[in-house]
Amino acid sequence: DTAVSQTPKYLVTQMGNDKSIKCEQNLGHDTMYWYKQDSKKFLKIMFSYNNKELIINETVPNRFSPKSPDKAHLNLHINSLELGDSAVYFCASSLYRSSYEQYFGPGTRLTVT
Amino acid sequence: EDQVTQSPEALRLQEGESSSLNCSYTVSGLRGLFWYRQDPGKGPEFLFTLYSAGEEKEKERLKATLTKKESFLHITAPKPEDSATYLCAVQGAGNMLTFGGGTRLMVKP
């Protein structure tokens, strides 16, 4: 059974388009996250979502928006895609927000042309 | 701002050759230091959490230790299947994880 799943695995799109990435966790965790891993392999937190409380990394452009239909899902919507958005995006979840290990999904490789 | 620096960036070992990976950090109010393993094309896989200086944790050939300024991941008698990128992250008062750039480990048979 997959703990944290993401779709799609690969996403190729053109500049200016709007796209979404879906994430689901079946671990019963309370908190979900979105990370961006750039070409240099640095993982950077984008959002943390817990009980409808959203914490945003201040460096994330407002073209990115997370949406959580329920506790097990956290989707990432990206508007007006730019070349610099090309990266691998990881979803993760943890039991609680503080001091608990996070479990990561397999990643979505986004390529903007 | 929390910062994490990992060294070396890449490490080549022969099978059985023990070594250590370093993670230096600055954080306001350490809540936890985490080690992850990442294989190519996959998401990071959780290995250890350390909470306070002096703490140690072990799993198979891996042992993680923590001081007030750094953490080490010791690999004893590594095997080719230990080849991966090892990521260190800290969680500070803001509850967000800050990751280092990782150490890419290659173990040759």
pLDDT at A44 over 70: yes
CB distance B46–A101 less than 8 Å? yes
Per-residue HEC secondary structure of B22-70 comes to: EEEEECCCCCEEEEEEECCCCCCEEEEEECCCCCEEEECCEEEEECCCE
Residue labelled with tokens 């198979």 = B60
Q: Does B23 touch chain A (CB under 8 A)?
A: no
User: What is the pairing mode between strands B10-14 and B62-66?
Assistant: unpaired
At A2 the pLDDT is 72
Least confident residue range of A81-95, A98-112, B70-84? A98-112
Lowest mean pLDDT among A11-20, A32-41, A52-61: A52-61
At B13-67, the pLDDT tens digits run 999 999 999 999 999 889 999 999 999 999 999 999 999 999 999 999 999 999 9
Residue A1's pLDDT band (boundaries 50, 70, 90)?
A: low
Residues of B in contact with A99 (CB under 8 A): 31-32, 49, 51, 91
Q: Residue B89's beta-bridge partner residues?
A: B34, B99
pLDDT value at A64 more than 80: yes
CA dihedral A39, B39, B42, A51 (to 10 degrees): -90
Inter-chain contact A45–B98, Cβ cutoff 8 Å?
A: yes
